[in-house]
Amino acid sequence: MIFDLNLDRVRNRPGIKWERHGNDVLSAWVADMDVEVPDFIKEAVIERIEVGGLGYGFYDEPIPVLEAFKSRMDTAFGWSIDTEDVMRVHDVIQGLEWVLHTLTPPGSEIVVQTPVYPPFYSSVEGTGRNWVANPLLENEEGWALDFDHLAEVAARDNVSALLLCHPHNPCGYVMTSADLAQIIEIAELNNLLVISDEIHCDLVYSPHKHVPTASISELAAQRTVTLTAATKTFNMAGLRMAFIHSSSRQYSPQLKEIRPRMIGGINGLGQVATAAGWEKGDAWIAELVEGLDHNRHLLAEMLSEHLPQIRYRPPQATYLSWLDCRDLGLGDNPAEIFMSRGKVALNSGLDFGVEGTGYVRLNFATSPEMLAMIVERMASAV
């Protein structure tokens, strides 16, 4: 049902994904899905508007969305949190910039696992810090962290934090508890902050499981600041609502000193929608992940039939695929060729760092029919 889409409606949808390039282009770039927002979210938002509840929201506990967050982290991931340790922000990247600004010294170095979501670079640079790459390794079994290199760079004098994309965008890698334990060990040894962006936490394919970084041990909880949101899961990025969590005795008091006015009052409809999603979304998420799981394998079949030169490893999480197009001979930026010759909008791998040269990122959160059209157009461009 979720993936049974009216493609005309999708292609005429307002918003950056479908409006930016015009509707003769098929859009598989920015991380919005083509699926409809679930009914329980639409109903909650409409109800709030209909009862005239668009005034100021709550500043004091109990704040419904924080209760929903606590309960969802517990039931979904067995992570027990305290609502007092959670701050509301407008989006994850705003949260990231506040965390960098508040908890890391200007000019210090932040380690990122590359290739990675482009704002990780721009936010680090924009807040006056410098990023240091710890490139992911790719072997027969899939992606892996380079712990030897991580241990080496983390020991540099100027490094202040490890920034994790967990699950990883664009590689779709899901770090295991053992990975996280090693990361925390390295952070502890070098007295580093761990910032864990977990916005894709619900979109993980079995047998992989999302383990919140802060949940693995008391040591991890003391080192970690978590950033998350429900906006990716329920396809409502425009509603702008995200969370910063930390129960660290070192970091949490400093985060609480951020002036609420400098964050700004939080969008009431974003909170209503987020709470509804976390309270009522379990069955919908299960159906969504099943459909995405189908698409990630379908993409493999279609690529091997139409574009066998592309190397693709179905991701362990997220609806984003990282396609190695180097054997197609389309140069450093194949996204440009797919756009100009095939009228398909993909993300250029170059935006994700130097490791993305010759790669594109394709968003497969659409109907199987649309996915087939996208692959056919890509093939026609080659």
- Separation CA 101–CA 123 (nearest Å): 10
Print burial letters for 281-290: b (CB count within 10 Å at least 16), e (below 16).
beebbeebbe
Minimum CB distance to ligand PLP, residue 168 (Å): 8
Minimum CB distance to ligand PLP, residue 379 (Å): 27
Given the complex with ligand PLP, which of 105 and 265 has the nearer CB atom?
A: 265
DSSP letter for each residue of 28-59? --SS--SSPPPHHHHHHHHHHHHTT--S----
Minimum CB distance to ligand PLP, residue 63 (Å): 19
* Of the residues 45, 86, 93, 145, which one makes contact with ligand PLP according to CB under 6 A: 93
**Interaction between residue 31 and ligand PLP (CB under 6 A):** yes
CA-closest candidate to residue 239, choices 103, 378, 65 = 65
Among the listed ranges 88-96, 137-145, 361-369, 374-382, the one in contact with ligand PLP (CB under 6 A) is 88-96
Minimum CB distance to ligand PLP, residue 229 (Å): 5
For the chain, the 3-state helix, strand and coil shares in percent, each to the nearest 5, are: 45, 15, 40
Phi, psi dihedral angles at 195 (to 5 degrees): -105, 120
**Interaction between residue 231 and ligand PLP (CB under 6 A):** yes
**Interaction between residue 237 and ligand PLP (CB under 6 A):** yes
CA-closest candidate to residue 315, choices 145, 119, 169 = 169
**Interaction between residue 267 and ligand PLP (CB under 6 A):** no
Minimum CB distance to ligand PLP, residue 309 (Å): 27
* Of the residues 85, 109, 197, 202, which one makes contact with ligand PLP according to CB under 6 A: 197
Minimum CB distance to ligand PLP, residue 169 (Å): 4
**Interaction between residue 110 and ligand PLP (CB under 6 A):** no
Given the complex with ligand PLP, which of 92 and 159 has the nearer CB atom?
A: 92
Given the complex with ligand PLP, which of 26 and 165 has the nearer CB atom?
A: 165
DSSP letter for each residue of 263-298? H-PPPHHHHHHHHHHHHH-HHHHHHHHHHHHHHHHH
Check if the beta carbon of residue 171 is closer than 8 Å to that of residue 353. no
Given the complex with ligand PLP, which of 222 and 347 has the nearer CB atom?
A: 347
Given the complex with ligand PLP, which of 164 and 221 has the nearer CB atom?
A: 164
Minimum CB distance to ligand PLP, residue 193 (Å): 17
- Separation CA 164–CA 147 (nearest Å): 13
Given the complex with ligand PLP, which of 32 and 109 has the nearer CB atom?
A: 32
* Of the residues 169, 213, 226, 295, which one makes contact with ligand PLP according to CB under 6 A: 169
Q: Which residue is nearest to ligand PLP (CB)?
A: 91
Given the complex with ligand PLP, which of 239 and 328 has the nearer CB atom?
A: 239
Q: Name the DSSP letter for residue 6.
A: -
- Separation CA 382–CA 375 (nearest Å): 11
Residue with tokens 């619900």: 202
**Interaction between residue 199 and ligand PLP (CB under 6 A):** yes
Minimum CB distance to ligand PLP, residue 327 (Å): 27
- Separation CA 131–CA 109 (nearest Å): 5
* Of the residues 34, 85, 91, 355, which one makes contact with ligand PLP according to CB under 6 A: 91
The 8 Å CB, 24+ separation contacts for 53-56 are 53/268, 53/272, 54/268, 54/269, 55/268, 56/265, 56/268
Minimum CB distance to ligand PLP, residue 9 (Å): 23
Side chain identity, residue 227: L
- Separation CA 230–CA 247 (nearest Å): 20
Give, as ranges, the residues between 174 and 193 that touch ligand PLP (CB under 6 A).
Answer: none
**Interaction between residue 165 and ligand PLP (CB under 6 A):** yes
Binding residues (CB under 6 A) for ligand PLP: these are 31, 91-93, 117, 165, 169, 197, 199, 229, 231, 237, 242
